[in-house]
Structure 1
């Protein structure tokens, strides 16, 4: 490999031509050469130029011709490409090059390239012997480079740690001398001088390496060799060093159980922090702080930082400590921690009362059990199923007696008890059961209507006071005291009241109630009687007033209200209705057979009015209600009074149409109406005389049909549109003599059947918009010719069914209100 080391020159400029005071850097790069007899282009680069510029320069370079010769220069691709540059060899060891230009150099980068011919192997210094910028020669400093051609790198010299050093840390850094022309190094470290087994074999580019985690009191051997592209040097001298002895471990830090902790389980896991350099630990557990041999519960050597102990004594204070050990000795004891174990779990409770399988128990039951050893409290469960899911009671008590109320009658319950203390809990006791007695139905007492009450309503609510253990009640109402004629009865009343309707007026009734319990029924209560009031006719009432309504002018017919929803009568559903008053000037009003009030508008009338309606019952009692009606005015559009469908005149003549009588508006004078006209085609022209209300139409040489369209707008913006077909004829046309058909006619197509074309004739007695369509037998449109405006006359159209398949089709003509359909047959 051949390598040219770069050079760096720093030039402090004072004041030369265009170059202001500043700092300029001139440098050559490092180059690596693989083969001899190679020509290289070495760039001379400029840095730190801005904000200055260069208009001229001179560089003189010296070299060792045995290794490399500067043979010339190149400005191609450089910032001096626009300069005039000359160079020559002053001697066998010197090359001088100068350049100048009218356009200064402002940019950093490569200013020039020198051409170097590699001559052979070896090392040579390549340096600038002179630098001149802008005709000045500022002071500069230079670091000379070198050229190395071919050859293996030298052997590194080991420096640190020194050979045969002892007491070296287990984390240490190896150092060696830098070797010229070395691109990397190989380091080997072993515990044997023959390097049979390596603990490090590294390829490095620096002259040091950090070793981590070496063993204590161990001899290590190490060596280094240099490497470049030509190969590697011989190994360096082998150095050795010995690591320091193993230090004693530190005393461990205890973690769990915490110091002075209480209520610790008798199965304990001891845990402590790992001690540096410890190989194993000794744990001691004692019931005294002196850890005497007679008090030791545990004295174990363990390799981990945790230890499990089981079945320690309950309710006991223990002390524990740990020390760390390795091959060189042991640490001091750790701090001493203490803890207290939990008390022993309580004994089993014994159920006492009620006896197992007891019957007819009260729904307020007292449970009793025997006191258990070491028990501090008890958990009690009561349920109506033997798996206690769900429980009707599940709670903790301190005593051995518990009263539970609100139980259901005739129900079997199961119960059990568990003893509790700080040390845990016992198993559940044996399960016992008991059954509650049946509920006894209590006698209800009647409340309302009171006994011997008179003048009661025919719709009456009966109430009574609850009977004990009631699930429901049965009530009877009769017309006799023996209840042989029961007129009202309900056997499953959930509450203590019920309402019956439609009792007879001026009648005496008797009533009684009894209680239904879960499995029993009480006797009947005492019997009360009451007498209903005389019948009194009440007039109808207005339940939903008619209120007011707003309608628009010319609304037509409107059903405004159902009178059956306005009036009501508690004593009858048969009411009759009558119109008492209404204003006929703006609408009429009637009541139909469905009792609906219907209003009918009077054309162009609006304003405010009232409609008064009375409702009467069968006894003639009446009541009235009023409907306020507002008829809002609306704008009436103008209307066409007299407009021809078609007009005919001769080409070259004028036709005058009076438009003053074709439209009118009930709300506006004729002078308030605005007329607009348009005519097609453009060969037709027109003139409008507003004063004469005339439009004059003329055609110089046009013959055919045209359309005059016009609109009429009133003062409120209401607008209507119309059109007149214009038939312009020649003076000698036979069409002038043609007879206008008297009626609409659609003829049968000819030929029929046909393939694929046929002719269809139709006649129009007046101008109309004509639409021709063809349908298949499913009603689907298969042809639609659109809508065309036609004047009165006879017409023939041709229909081509090339795209249709054979079959029966319907064809239809619509012209204004006229519509007719016929059948035709296509055969292909």
Structure 2
């Protein structure tokens, strides 16, 4: 029973706890959650918006706003509200308020939140100055406002828009006053301020506005610092915002102490005025009246009235026959230092028709080229300098002449112009006739020749003087007017006399037979030449009518001073004599030397020796040349010696066995003779210096045929000098090694091979050696080689051409042996050094028909020359190879 009662107790307790859980859970679900303002917010805008969360299945919501924590007094209350936000204007600044919300679910009890508190932000500052809606305010303004408790800063905004977008001032200050300079005339500015505490700021104050004063006019004309202003002046300016009338002052001093104009209450935007003086600086300023305001005076503008109009003088009005290039003149303008001139195709002087323009003209005249021929021209002048600009003169008009002709020939600056010449020019435009002048000065102050009424465009004239500078010019006559003179062309008449060329002036040592030379004169028909031994030409001689510009003058006296000159003869007369040159003859001609030694075609001459020749008459020294060719071309001359005082020359260092040619010329102070006919000679050869190497029989070879034994050795340099009788080999064969028993001796061996027939015994050992020789002597003996003859006679095929070659040759590293066989067979290949020792051997090579190629490894052989021998059967071929690494 007791157990049963305990069980009922615990069951009841569990049911109660479950019921309480259900109630609490339901309460938590049905009550909204307050969102904003958050609990404890202390800077809430008075125009607050209260927000909470939605509750599932809620039919409506309830809220209460109060100044009491127990909500005993109600500012705002709604117990049947459908939304989750509500806006409410809280009545006071810096005041604590409370709010809570609840929800109602049908069939369930209403649930409320515990409630939140908030404090509204402080009140904004109050603007104290300037007063609202002020007008005619200066740009610089000081703004003040009341203090906000606990404020650390204030923010002020100034704008030309009532909604403060955009702002012209948006800044923070620490006090309750701030000064700013506004910058627009007749403009309404709005301003407001708010306070800023730590973590909170007030709303902006109620804005105020002020309107700045009206501005002075923006003056247009006359522009500031303008010059050249006419006396009839029109002051102009654009309408100024807010303006009702304008005041304008004009003075001749910048301080406006002497007012020439003081016009008030002008209702228009312009004012005419007649300035009293030319070239005078004036000052003007303005101010605006409007909206019960008077602006400050504008900055003063200054302007200077123009110089008075210049008076044009020449060319006068309606004048005709004025040259295209003419002088414009005018009267001076008082105070002006420079002038501007212009000429035009039309009286309007518009752009594109100006034909002449000149500025910065000092003085009262200018030369003008209007470039218009036979046309009407208009021109004006005015003062125009760095200080001021004047009024244009009255327009003058005139008519130009025709254009000056163009000179065609002679070309300007021509020289060597013939005395008889044709002058030619070309008319531009209409021409009735021409007027021509020739002068010797470029300003034509003295006229040498003049002709008028020339109908054509050419004129033949004959000039009076040779070698003279002339100038000529032409002008055109058309419609009763002469044109300007053409450009003056200059030319120089032909020199007439030639320029002396040879002998040059003051030249010495001239030959007694001398070829005189002078420059050609283009018009010359002939020349006259004179010689004299005195500079006055008292005792003169020479020739007339020389047809060329050169003559051979013979038989002059040696060591004599001569003077000479030349003149030309042409169709218009005889020229003056040329300038006088002088020259000294020398000692006269010298003979060509006669060569003595070496005799022509001599041979075997030593490389060092003496050349000699016979002395030449009148020679003081000799020049000698040695060459390798008969032509003595520059590249062939190996030695050239000058100023040899003797008739002999010691030569050295000529090459052996070489042909040379030598020749000699004699020299004195006046001349050098031709070279002698050359002698040819040959130097002696150098004796052989190399040893021959045995090719066959090689040292120690056996079974050598004894009836017909072939000997072969390597070639020795300088044993083939062209004549068999002058070079060759000496061969010795002996049964004894010291060659005391000489079997065979033949000094006259001219090849590297020889056959000895029927001289040797059977089965006998022989020794052999050879040496080269030539005209200069014998070379060294070769090494001694031995061989043994065969028991019985046999026939050998001997030397044969297998087309054997070693590739490459010289050998650096690897090489190939190449040879051809008519039929396959066994081949032996041997390399022998210069001592006759076999240093490389390939035996029983299996050779095939046609080309055979075998690699050779000769790494063990040192650099040098070697013999090789290729043999098959009784046939063999030998040759030479070089190893060079």
TM-score, structure 2 normalization? 0.31
Rg bigger for which structure?
A: 2
